[in-house]
Structure 1
Amino acid sequence: MNTTVNQRGDSQVAIVESTDILISNVQDALDLMASIQYLTGCDKFIIQQWNVTEDFFELKTKLAGDVLQKYTNYQVKLAIIGEFDHYNSKSLRDFIYECNHGNQFFFVQDEQAALDALHGVK
């Protein structure tokens, strides 16, 4: 796992680069959050869709909700870059829509959109 930090003014976003699945359960998500905060000092970060187990996108597993709740508790903001249109679940589409209209979690198609979203929130 490699991380770089993108800075705009006083806002810092860690960009995580890895070909591995980094989040397959809640503990992985907490470990990733702690590692990024330790390595970079950032409380906002970007990962790729392939860094997250497919179970995350199956809402009935509750993994997405549990991870996002933990990150909310620790005031960590996350953007996931990927293609989400191929998921047929209306619940998932609604979940992504709601996240993208909030200020904590974002599901976007490219790094620039992720940086814009995360730098735009306090």
Structure 2
Amino acid sequence: MEFKILGKRNDIALIVSDEVVIKDTQSALDLIATAQYETGRDKLIVYKSCVIDDFFILSTGIAGEILQKFINYHVKIAIVGDYSKYTSKPLKDFIYESNKGNSIFFVSSLEEALHKLDNTY
């Protein structure tokens, strides 16, 4: 796993990995700690391929547990990927409501992730 610093204010860390890095709450905490230690950034971008598939099945509770860690540690995150394959209304509603907020974003491109996080404080 590597970090690439991006953003208008160089305050965003892009996680670069070929592996799933967010598997459960502990791996989310490890990512938060590593990102803050290695980069000093509290705004993260991760590709959907780096997040365990069960995250997107809301009935597992994994998404809520993981995202609560980001909220608790005041870390903003944008997850970049194609969400069109998901047909679950609760998931679509969850994504919609998250995107209306200021901390968690589900976006389709790196550019959109940068735009969202560049406009948060």
Aligned to 1:5: 5
What aligned pairs does 1:18-97 form with structure 2 within 5 A after superposition? 18-97=17-96
**Percent of matched pairs sharing the same residue:** 44
1:100 aligns with 2:99: yes
Alpha-carbon distance in 2 for matches of 1:25, 1:69 = 12
Aligned to 1:118: 117
The TM-score, its normalising length taken from structure 2, stands at 0.97
Structure 1 counterpart of 2:93, which letter? D
Structure 2 counterpart of 1:2, which letter? E
Alpha-carbon distance in 1 for matches of 2:36, 2:118 = 16
Structure 2: 5+ residue stretches without partners: none
Q: SS in structure 1 opposite 2:55?
A: helix
Q: How many pairs does the alignment contain?
A: 121
Q: SS in structure 2 opposite 1:30?
A: helix
**What is the CA RMSD across the aligned residues, in angstroms?**
0.9
Alpha-carbon distance in 2 for matches of 1:2, 1:68 = 21
The TM-score, its normalising length taken from structure 1, stands at 0.96
Shift in Å, 1:68: 1.0
Q: SS in structure 1 opposite 2:83?
A: coil
Q: SS in structure 2 opposite 1:46?
A: strand
Shift in Å, 1:7: 3.6
Structure 2 counterpart of 1:6, which letter? L
